Each structure stands twice: as structure tokens, then as C-alpha cells.
Amino acid sequence: MEKNYTTQMDAARKNIITPQMEEVLKQENISKEFLLENVAAGRIVIPANRSHSGLKASGIGNGLTTKINVNLGVSKDVCSFSGEMVKADLAVKHGAHAVMDLSVSGNTEQFRKRLIAELPLVLGTVPIYDTLTRTKKEVRDITVDDWFETVETHAANGVDFITIHAGLTRKAISSLKKAGRLCGIVSRGGAILVEWMEKNGLENPFYTHFDRLLEICRARDVCISLGDGLRPGAIHDSTDGPQIQELITLGELTRYAWEQDVQVMIEGPGHVPLHEIAMNMQLQKKLCHGAPFYVLGPLVTDIAPGYDHITAAIGGAMAAMNGADFLCYVTPAEHLRLPTLADVKEGIMAARIAAHTGDIAKGIKTSGHRDNIMSRARGTLDWGGQFNTAIDPEKAREYRTSSLPSHEDVCTMCGDFCAVKRMENLL
């Protein structure tokens, strides 16, 4: 039987519970009424392309657990699609909710189709990158049709959400030139668009032809992740005029997309000092009318290359506590190289810890239940229970078995001085 709705938002506005909504309801402690109300209003998105048949849908937004995304993809220097596929499998194994393919070399469409066919996770892409790879043209020579043909290809392939830097207008670029930033533009998609706009003397094609973008996305229910081309790449640049100028435009475009029943997320910074994170979350929610917020980190200091999964986890936990809905993982390799498999796992775990920490702080129901199970296991020296409850059971077991005590009920940190063992009979 043919569906009588176009997008998840359209279905919610018609009071229809879709199969994807049923999947979300199994994962979250919310009612059908709450889900319908928030999807209809745009405060929750369920990225689910009509052509992505094997998808395990996830909800992102108000009142839901914080989700995490894993970036992967090949470059010209490291072009192993099989290696990136192993990273995608790691994302599934270690509890990510989405994967973004950021490939900028090789047969990207073939890899994209394989990801869609084999992974149950939500898949996102950045068509701006792929336009250069697909057409093999210089940036100046890309046509408006070239940009949109790539979007149409990604939508037809089954991509669930696409990052589009539609708020990066000439007005915002003018603001950037006067801002005195230390790091200018750090968004790859943003830099490509600015180069195109400056060399051709034209406005952002995705802003000018936003209706065309909405038509493509509505036809296949592709969620638009409105990209932050002017996100700060240094804590010095955080919350400056260009960032806010773009955010205001993204809020205007969000309302326009909702009028066409198109789902929208907003992407956010970037590099933000700890004391500005709450303000940034509140600004986004206010200016973008409660649309789900997708943040990269944010990284709270600039001096930790090799440890940026930690700086991002600190910022991510704070961001989630204050309203961020979707965290993009950051690996130890950020700013340095394409991440290895070990880097990917470290990034996933750091992001998951940040998301879980944020959920406890913002009062998501049952979010602390697993912590209580762990605490009971620790309080009874139940090592098996601790391993089974741990976010990374493999690593917990590995650490335990690498240094076994003379008495198996304690560990080599305390031994006979173990407080729990000493108190188990007295208390």
C-alpha cells in the first residue's frame, strides 16, 4: 500500500505513526503523543531516506537521548575504502547512531551505496565535497546544476541527511573579512563555497535556490543538516559576528523548510571555551526555533593535538547538558591525520561518555539506571557485573586481566586495603 505522507514531519502532522517512529519509540522513554508533537514541530528529526531499506532509525532532538555520529571517508593520500568500511563496522559495534561519509577521492558513489546497503545506521554526507570529486572541475567552473545534480545523486542513493552550508551568504562573508579571526574558515564545505562565490561574484547557490534543495529533500525525505561554514576553529573566534550572522540565516531557512515538511538539523561549533558553551546552545535553540542541534565537540581548548577526543568530550558533555542533541565524535587524530581504527574507537567511546554524561545532567529518564547497576556491582566486588555494564567491556576486562591480584575479589590498586572488602561484613 502506498504511503500517504511524504516525510516524517508530514506524517507527524497527519498524526501518522510511521515504522521509523515505532523504532524510535522502542529506544526512548517517551509517548507516541510526545513524539508526534515534536516531529511535527521540528524539534525532533528522524533522518530516514525512503530508499534506505535496512535502516535502524534513530530520533534526534528534544527529550531524547543524545546521539553520536562517526565521521569517516577516504582522502587522496589515504584512499582505502575497505579500511573505511572496517571503521564503519566499528561504529556499529561500539554503539554509534550515525555515520557521515566525507570521502573526497575515488569512486565515492560505489562506497556510499555499500554503506547504505550494509550498515543499519543513519548515513550522512556532504554533497559539496563530492561535487568536486564527481565533476573533476575547478571550483570556479562548477555550475549551479553541478551542485544540485550531486545532491540529487546522494538522495537517490539513499542518504538520510546531507550537510548543506546554505546560510553562508555574501553578507556573512563580508562580516568575516572584518572579524579579525585567528583561524578564518575551517569548514571544508564552507571554504569551497566561499571560493566559488568570490571567484564568480555570485551569492551562495544553496541560499539562492533553497526551494530546489527542498524539493529534492522532500521527495525522498532527506533531512537537511544546515552546516555552519563559519564555525569557529579557535576558541578566540568563538561566538563572533560571522558565526552569529550565519546562525540567524539558518534560523530563517529552518522555518522555510518546515513549511515544506522538510526535516532540519542545525550544525554548530566547533571550538568554544567552556564558559561560552551554554550560551551557544541557548542561542541556537532560540534563533533556530528549537531545531535539533548537531555539534562537533565542541573543543574547549586548542593546545591538545593528539588528545582532542578528550577536549571534545569535555565540551560535548557540557553541550549535551545544555541542549545539544547530536554529538559528532572527535578522534585523537583530529587536526593531524586521517584516523586509524584505534583512533576511531577512542573517539566513539569519548563521544558516548560525553553523550551519556549530558543525558544524566539534563534529566533524561532512566539515563542513570546503568550507572546504578555498575555501582551495585562495584559495591559487591562483582567483577563480571562490572564488565557487563561497562561502556567498553573489552577494555575493562583487558585492564583487569593485565594485572591480577593474589586475591581475586580485589584489584592490584588496593589489594588488602580495599575499602569495599573491609566494609562488606561491617556494613
Is position 71 annotated in a ligand binding site? yes
Is 341 annotated in a binding site? The answer is: no
- Is residue 100 classed as helix, strand or coil in its secondary structure? strand
| Residue 228, marked binder | yes
Is 411 marked within a binding site?
A: yes
Please work out, in degrees rounded to the nearest 5, the angle formed at the alpha carbon of residue 149 by the alpha carbons of 143 and 155.
150
Task: Answer yes or no: is 165 a known binding residue.
Answer: yes
359 is in an annotated binding site: no
β pairing state of 223-226 and 161-164: parallel
97 carries a ligand binding annotation: no
In terms of Cβ atoms closer than 10 Å to its own Cβ (0-12, 13-18, 19+), residue 370 is middle
**Residue 100 marked in a binding site:** yes
CA atoms within 13 A on the CB side of 379: 7
Four-point Cα dihedral 30, 34, 38, 40, nearest 10? 130
183 is in an annotated binding site: no
**Amino acid in position 74:** V
89 is in an annotated binding site: no
- Whether 256 has a binding-site annotation, put simply, is no
Q: Write down the residue that cell numbers 565542541 correspond to.
A: 298
Q: Is 229 annotated as a binding residue?
A: yes
State yes or no: 140 annotated in a binding site: no
Bridging pattern class, strands 161-164 and 67-72: unpaired
**3-class DSSP assignment, residue 327:** strand
Q: How many angstroms separate the CA atoms of 58 and 26, rounded?
A: 10
Show contacts of 74-81: CB within 8 Å, 24+ apart. 74/103, 74/104, 74/105, 74/106, 74/111, 74/338, 75/103, 75/104, 75/105, 75/338, 76/104, 76/105, 77/338, 78/338, 79/105, 79/106, 81/106, 81/107, 81/110, 81/111, 81/114
* 418 assigned to a ligand binding site: yes
294 is known to lie in a ligand binding site = yes
Instruction: Confirm or deny that 129 is annotated as ligand binding.
Output: yes
Q: Which residues make up each annotated binding site?
A: 71, 100, 129, 165, 187-189, 228-231, 267, 271, 294, 335, 411, 414, 418
Residues annotated in a binding site for substrate = 71, 100, 129, 165, 187-189, 228-231, 267, 294
Binding-site residues for Zn(2+), in ranges, read 271, 335
Instruction: Indicate the annotated binding residues for [4Fe-4S] cluster.
Output: 411, 414, 418
